[in-house]
A and B are shown apart, each in its own frame.
Chain A
Amino acid sequence: MEEKIRVLVAKPGLDGHDRGARVVAAALKDAGMEVIYTGLHQTPEAVVEAAIQEDVDVVGLSILSGAHMTLVPRVQELLREAGAGDVMVFAGGIIPDADAATLRAGGVSAIFGPGTDTAEIVTAIREAVADRPAAPDS
């Protein structure tokens, strides 16, 4: 039986706008993924700890506060330091195009801005997981 894709939906930093994160979490769950939602006001350290503990395939960061250029790379750095650099990182929220380009160049799989259809997010995650290079012991 195919294993469920495991996704951590996270709210790093002080941003309290969680409508989008909760809608995405519900949509991913409806699409058959295993979803863990961190709740609000998480430090990057707490996000990465949860990602590792929950052994997720994907971390989705929701940021509407403008702090994305600090928080996203920090989460990526901590994932790498913890040996979890193969966990895919997606981001969503209010992220200007220029910053989105920079983040994608830095390894973020995709950025989902306002007006994104949740079906697009589901597809993007499924494709990214399918395209991921197989682990050496599989």
Chain B
Amino acid sequence: MPKVTSDADRLAAFRKKAATGVRDFDFTTVSGQPVEILYDPSSVADLDHDRDLGHPGTFPFTRGIHPNMYRGRLWTMRQFAGFGTARETNRRFRFLLEQGQTGLSTAFDMPTIMGYDSDHARSLGEVGRMGVAIDSLADMERLFEAIPLDKVSTSMTINAPAAVLLAFYIATAEKQGVAADRISGTTQNDILKEYQAQKSWIFPPEPSMRLIVDMMEFCSEHVPRWNTISISGYHIREAGSTALQELAFTLGNGFAYVEAGIERGLDVDAFAPRLSFFFNSHLDFFEEIAKYRAARRIWARRLRDKYGAKDPRSWLLRFHTQTAGVSLTAQQPENNIVRTAYQALAAVLGGTQSLHTNSMDEALDLPTEKAVTIALRTQQIAAYETGVASVIDPLGGSYFVEALTDEMEAGAERYFAEIDERGGVLACIDQGFFQKEIGRAAYAYQKAVEKGEKVVVGVNRYVHEGEEPEIPTLGQDPALEREQAERTRTVRAERDHDAADRALAILREKARGGENLMPHILDAARKYATEGEIIQVFREEFGEYHDPAYVL
């Protein structure tokens, strides 16, 4: 660190003087955190390089988890995709791979997310609209047609029914001749944030945690290259939280999963290396970068010093990032290309391992081919033209960024203490603690926008009056829903009935006991039991969770 040439008093005096003649603008981060006009060495006087930063790949990993970061390997360019039936999504997957993306990411439709088959009454009007409809192994096989599962890694954004979709994926790989120990990918499988933010739950917390730990245990033995959980802050942020809440609630959930694994009797080093994370990249450039750096440091410290992990791989916070969907506007949608670019840059400067960039039309619909190509090119331009990937953590040592990183860590620790005081994550969910914090932050932001305190270009400033020229959007052929429902009925009709029924009966029996359910879910999957049928067994055995509906 450079020799301290200015002390705190001189900086305070400078800030006071510089406060005159300042324009009328809200100089807080998008989360409402005040920022000073200037930071200097006195802002980081307590920073100890070896204790607080380290070199990349060295504890506490603040500057990056690998010694050569993007010089060794660029972040994975992994665009979230899915719509219609497996055929449409397979086509989009192959298109994106042809355009140069380096990993797959699957969006499922609401019926699949909520555990209903496409022909269920509750699926009416919903099939294929928010993602791809997957009802059975047959659909999964079509989804990955001509995509060798030993050559590509796949992320699946699925939570309550994650065990079922993982079983479909493993069985699909088997059909391709690829053994489970050679497949790689991620299931989001982060149920805690569902109760807090994304709200696509099915069962109550306890049986949901059981399924998650079953998957952790099963994968550590049979699917070692699989990231069992993507502990997510993205959705917490999209629901309206501040950056600090996103950081603290996500890591708090991470600690809860670690504790659940340890409680099951697993050695922390047997599963922690396969826990991964998923953060938002929102509009406030430096706040996001500080958030990622603080996250790495906090996780490393806790895993080593509190949970006693010995394997350095357990200390590494590996994360995927998605640019903030909630920041996209329906008005003047081309502006979203710019927003996404800035957000992508923050994620890269923050050291993300994997990145999805939103398309400009996503405030209107799922992305068109043209829009998603621009989004992918955004990453490729960052990677190959800007030079930002040549140097690790180039903002490290910035007085501002280091001060902000420290502030984020301190703020997170305050939240961890409060969560503990309130009885832990599950107790806080019961109390509605997270939900209320998030709801309050969302409301405060909305009011700030309505008052014009927070600017949204094209919405509350630089607005185009009158009709806007429409941009092309994806839309959906309504016939797809009927087609998909018919296909699933055919799968049920043509499978070996006895085998499927037997597998479901065994599953029900095992659900009542404490055995690991994964092998039995896998067996049911192989027999073409549908997702809806498997989840229905669990609904009956585990119960259903209901939304504590209240108005703030």
Partners in one complex: yes
Q: Is B114 in contact with chain A by the CB < 8 A criterion?
A: yes
**Is B537 an interface residue when CB atoms closer than 8 A count as contact?**
no
Task: List residues of chain B with CB within 8 A of the CB of A16.
Answer: 110, 198-200
Which of chain A's residues has its CB closest to B83's CB? A66
State the main secondary structure of chain B at its contact with A.
loop
Chain B 172-213 interface mask (CB, 8 Å, partner A; 1/0)? 000000000000000000000000001110000000000000
Report A-chain residues with C-beta under 8 Å of the C-beta of B329: 114-115
A27 to B439, CA, bound (A): 12
Q: Which residue of B lies closest to A18 (CB)?
A: B199
Nearest CB in chain B: distance from A61 CB, A: 13
Q: Which of B126, B326, B443 contacts A66 (CB 8 A)?
A: B126
B-facing mask of A94-133, CB < 8 A → 1, else 0? 1011000000000000000111011100000000000000
Q: A26: nearest residue on chain B (CB-CB)?
A: B552
Asked if A23 CB lies within 8 Å of chain B CBs, one says yes
CA distance A9 to B550 in the complex (A): 11
Determine whether the beta carbon of B450 is less than 8 Å from that of A70. no
Given contacts A19-B238, A71-B125, A97-B470, contact A114 B199 (CB under 8 A): no
Instruction: Assess whether B450 is in contact with A118, with CB atoms less than 8 Å apart.
Output: yes
Tell me whether B363 and A15 are in contact (CB under 8 A): no
Chain B 443-494 residues near chain A, CB threshold 8 A: 443, 446, 450, 456, 459, 470, 473, 475-476
A23 touches B113 (CB 8 A): no
Q: Do A41 and B547 have beta carbons less than 8 Å apart?
A: yes
A31 CB → nearest B CB, Å = 12
Known: A25-B552, A97-B470, A118-B446. A14 touches B110 (CB 8 A): yes
User: What CA separation (Å) do A18 and B439 show in the bound complex?
Assistant: 10
User: Which residues of B lie under 8 Å from residue A41 when comparing CB positions?
Assistant: 114, 547
Chain B residue with Cβ nearest A25: B551
Contact across chains for A96 and B439 when beta carbons are under 8 A apart: no
A94→B364 CA distance, assembly (Å): 6
Closest to A16 in B: B199
Selected contact of B549 from candidates A15, A19, A38, A117, CB within 8 Å: A38
Q: Is A82 an interface residue (CB 8 A)?
A: no
* B interface with A by C-beta (< 8 Å): 110-111, 113-114, 116, 122-126, 129-130, 198-200, 238-240, 326, 329-331, 363-365, 439, 442-443, 446, 450, 456, 459, 470, 473, 475-476, 546-552
Q: List 15 A-B contacts (CB under 8 A).
A: A14-B110, A15-B130, A18-B199, A23-B442, A27-B446, A37-B550, A40-B547, A41-B547, A65-B130, A66-B126, A66-B130, A66-B476, A69-B125, A114-B363, A115-B330
